[in-house]
Amino acid sequence: MALTGLQIYKLLPASSTKPEVKAHANCKECGYPTCLAFAMKLAAKQAELSLCPYVEEESKRQLEESAAPPIRLITIAGSAKKLEVGNELVLYRHEKTFYHPPGLFVRVKDTQPDAAQVAEAVAAYSVDYVGMSLTLDGVAVEAAGGDFASTVAAVKAACPFPLILMTSDPATAEAGLKAAQGTMPLLWAADAQNWQAMAKLAAQYKVPLVVLANGDLNALADLAEQVKNAGVEDIVLDPGTRGYADSLAIFTQLRRLALKKNERKVGYPLIAFAGDDATLAAQHIAKYAGFIVLDRFDPAMVYPLIVLRANLFTDPQKPIQVLPGVYEINKPGPSDPLMITTNFSITYFSVANEVESSGLPGWLLVADAEGMSVLTAWAAGKFDAERIAKTVKTTGIEQKINHKRLIIPGHVAVLLGEIEEELPGWEINVGPREAVDLPNYLKTRWG
């Protein structure tokens, strides 16, 4: 349970009964004037315990347990990629942010002759989205009566991403774990009947283990505690729900118990199975799965899911940005147009994509506007005449072109006179308000 500021204070040197520890009370070495002030900062998670070198070991243990994230961080890895889920601190992203996006996995069965080909397609799939390379995260291999170990080995060879090994039979699970050696898969699943054997395997092979209890949260919490006591710290919860309403209710309840009630028994990431249902998968991305298993690989279904995930797991207080500087579009020459915009990624890609698809060459200056769009940056004073002029003067663009003409976004036409004062000798042209109108503008107004 999280400790209050006063409870933390009682564990710091100011409250110690040992003279050698008490001597360091209110020493200010932590950067705060008193131990009480430091305790209040620790309680608010605005300071690190490591700032105080004089905390007694027993007190340190209690404080570290209290400060541990309410949802355990779980890591699985393939030969070339790892995935971390957990450590989330909020129910709603606007409160802070979501940190670890859920892993999206495609399920194959050991009876599928094309399992390795599907795994290869999963590994090869990648899309570029506003400067980010978005991919899937791995393959879930299900024991369905075929050669599980051989299928795991083939999938592992075809896809260097993390694996989920799906079987309730301990002997089959061990064969799969042996075939997956050199990686760290997630083992699914331990239930009320097999948990001792599965926990033993998870501890032996040092892999995370899924705990499964169909719809009974008390049974799920108790089983997770039994597995933990058996020596497995890295646990993933499967409440057994597969529908919309039951999944939403139970996943939300588990998240609330972990975050609001600090219930350590359920403080673990969740795994969800969405089948062929993209809408259900989208629900699990938002509420609150750590691993999501799809029944097939379909780019038309996968693309909106990975884009949704990217948007939900972007810090809402920090817009996606591109690096300020000079960008060349369609191999421009010295006499080709020079445009300027802000470094908000969607603004940049809107402009760049319109010009690139038109086939017209051009130079695009990107000003540092702290990731804001044109109008927002202008209103905030982050995209004004001075900053535009500074971008022109400091990027070296004047050495790349043989003219002094600059196209500014139509939304900031009001800056025309000020920019002319900041850039004497330059001709400032007001471009269109929308990126979609840029190609026609360049064709008719530049020359």
Give a yes or no: residue 318 inside a domain. Answer: no
Give a yes or no: residue 319 inside a domain. Answer: no
Same domain? For 263 and 140 the reply is yes
Same domain? For 303 and 417 the reply is no
pLDDT computed for residue 23 by the predictor: 86
> Phi and psi dihedrals of 108, rounded to 5?
-125, 155
Do 129 and 93 touch, CB atoms closer than 8 A? no
pLDDT computed for residue 60 by the predictor: 85
Give a yes or no: residue 320 inside a domain. Answer: no
Same domain? For 360 and 296 the reply is no
> Measured between alpha carbons, how far is 248 from 202 in angstroms, rounded to an integer?
29
Same domain? For 62 and 133 the reply is no
pLDDT computed for residue 93 by the predictor: 85
Tokens of 434: 């929308």
Domain boundary, last residue among 312, 337, 371: 312
Give residue for tokens 């002029």.
389
Domain boundary, last residue among 312, 334, 365: 312
Domain count for the chain: 3
Do 164 and 141 touch, CB atoms closer than 8 A? yes
For 389-407, write each residue's pLDDT tens digit.
Answer: 999 999 999 999 999 999 9
Give a yes or no: residue 371 inside a domain. Answer: yes
> Measured between alpha carbons, how far is 431 from 429 in angstroms, rounded to an integer?
6
Do 97 and 89 touch, CB atoms closer than 8 A? no
Same domain? For 362 and 425 the reply is yes
Do 201 and 177 touch, CB atoms closer than 8 A? yes
Q: What is the dihedral of CA 198, 201, 207, 208, to 10 degrees?
A: 20
pTM of the model: 0.78
Distances (CA, A) of 29 to 42, 58, 59, 60, 379: 15, 21, 18, 17, 43
pLDDT computed for residue 2 by the predictor: 64
Do 152 and 174 touch, CB atoms closer than 8 A? no
Same domain? For 51 and 100 the reply is no
Give a yes or no: residue 363 inside a domain. Answer: yes
Same domain? For 207 and 93 the reply is yes
Domain boundary, last residue among 67, 99, 116: 67
Q: Of 270, 422, 405, 413, which Cα lies nearest the Cα of 337?
A: 405
Give a yes or no: residue 346 inside a domain. Answer: yes
Same domain? For 22 and 88 the reply is no
Give a yes or no: residue 49 inside a domain. Answer: yes
Same domain? For 337 and 385 the reply is yes
> Measured between alpha carbons, how far is 218 from 266 in angstroms, rounded to an integer?
10
Give a yes or no: residue 317 inside a domain. Answer: no
For 38, the domain range is 5-67
Tokens of 128: 């570029």
CA 119 from chain centre, in angstroms, equals 23
Q: Over the chain (447 residues), what is each successive 10-residue block's mean pLDDT?
A: 80 87 89 91 81 88 77 95 93 88 98 97 92 93 97 98 98 98 97 97 98 92 96 97 96 94 92 97 97 97 96 83 93 96 92 94 95 93 96 95 96 95 96 95 87
Do 145 and 111 touch, CB atoms closer than 8 A? yes
Same domain? For 159 and 29 the reply is no
Same domain? For 80 and 44 the reply is no
Query: Which CATH number is 217's domain given?
Result: 3.20.20.20
Amino acid at 342: T
pLDDT computed for residue 270 by the predictor: 98
Burial 355-370 (b: 16+ CB within 10 A, else e): bbebebbbbbbbbbbe
Query: Which CATH number is 359's domain given?
Result: 3.40.50.11600
Beta bridge mates, 325: 366
pLDDT computed for residue 166 by the predictor: 98
pLDDT computed for residue 217 by the predictor: 93
Same domain? For 344 and 439 the reply is yes
> Phi and psi dihedrals of 327, rounded to 5?
-120, 130
Burial 283-293 (b: 16+ CB within 10 A, else e): bbbebbbbbbb
Mapping DSSP onto H, E and C, the string for the chain reads: CCCCHHHHHCCCHHHCCCHHHHCCCCCCCCCCCCHHHHHHHHHCCCCCHHHCCCCCHHHHHHHHHHHCCCCCCEEEECCCCEEEECCCCCCCHHHCCCCCCCEEEEEEECCCCCHHHHHHHHHHCEEEECCEEEECCEEEEECCCCCHHHHHHHHHHHCCCCEEEECCCHHHHHHHHHHCCCCECEEEEECCCCHHHHHHHHHHHCCCEEEECCCCHHHHHHHHHHHHHCCCCCEEEECCCCCHHHHHHHHHHHHHHHHCCCCHHHCCCEEEEEECCHHHHHHHHHCCCCEEEECCCCHHHHHHHHHHHHHHCCCCCCCCECCCEEEEECCCCCCCCEEEEECEHHHHHHHHHHHHHHCCCEEEEEECCCCCCHHHHHHCCCCCHHHHHHHHHHCCHHHCCCCCEEEECHHHHHHHHHHHHHCCCCEEEECCCCHHHHHHHHHHHCC
